[in-house]
Structure 1
């Protein structure tokens, strides 16, 4: 119990703040050049972990005679869109390739960054798709794919 009571000798002595020194050292460490750049790149990743358009919105509408698939792709060029039909699956893929180059005042390149972003959505249908009858259009950032519904042969059941 006597150790918990403040002693007059210890209270007059200036106390060193070792925790504060440790925090100051850690703060300086994280603001050094290599670590600071690494931490900034992590911050940039978490600000936008997925590239724009990585998960685009798709609606499927079934009418009496066709399926209408609508995909919202704002800012995407027609050349960046690919449609693939395999069996009873339709895959919509969007690929963006960019080359960013930074130059100084003497037109010497000091940074070049190549960006490639790809995203896709796959929709399944209850029957095999006849790709000859599929129609697709793209206007103002909206892709529409029309797939006719296949009517199977009706079989009568005997008594």
Structure 2
């Protein structure tokens, strides 16, 4: 007589949901242990913030009857780092940060110098050409406000 013990997967008494549960346990253990967990976490972190912090900024455009008010939230940015450029009916807001980091040893000898440059910009399109002479901009407490008067074209009467 054979003393062969039936395997678990062929055991008709064992419910299939229990086999599935064991498979799921094994998969959870696999994905929750290193190095897989660390790899998956780094992918999650990348997609939460695909761009470096500060690479973009929030801009609102409000149209009143007389003007466009464009607001940009720029916390921690100095006035000298902000550049406005007008070309036709486009307004571009650029923020540029340049830093020079140096590391020195105890003898004041520089052993590492790192130059960092970050640049971010947003372009807003308006329905008419912008007259740069009438544009007003102010920057206070991290909020840039740009006021652009709406241009109304000349109405031409048609003769009979």
Q: What TM bracket, shorter-length normalisation?
A: 0.5 to 0.7
Structure 1 length-normalised TM: 0.67
* Cα distance in 2 between the residues matched to 1:80 and 1:61: 24
Partner of 1:135: 136
String of CA shifts for 1:37-59, please: whole Å, max 9, x gaps.
Answer: xxxxx99x959753332110000
String of CA shifts for 1:91-133, please: whole Å, max 9, x gaps.
Answer: 0000000011112222222221100000100001111000000
In structure 2, list runs of 5 or more residues that go unmatched. 1-41
Q: How does 1:9-158 map to 2 (within 5 A)?
A: 46=46, 50-156=51-157
Structure 2 length-normalised TM: 0.67
Range moving further from structure 2, 103-112 or 61-70 = 103-112
Preserved contact between residue 137 and residue 143 of structure 1 (Cα < 8 Å)? yes
| Matched pairs, number | 123
User: What RMSD over aligned residues (CA atoms) do the two structures have, in Å?
Assistant: 2.8
* Cα distance in 1 between the residues matched to 2:134 and 2:144: 17
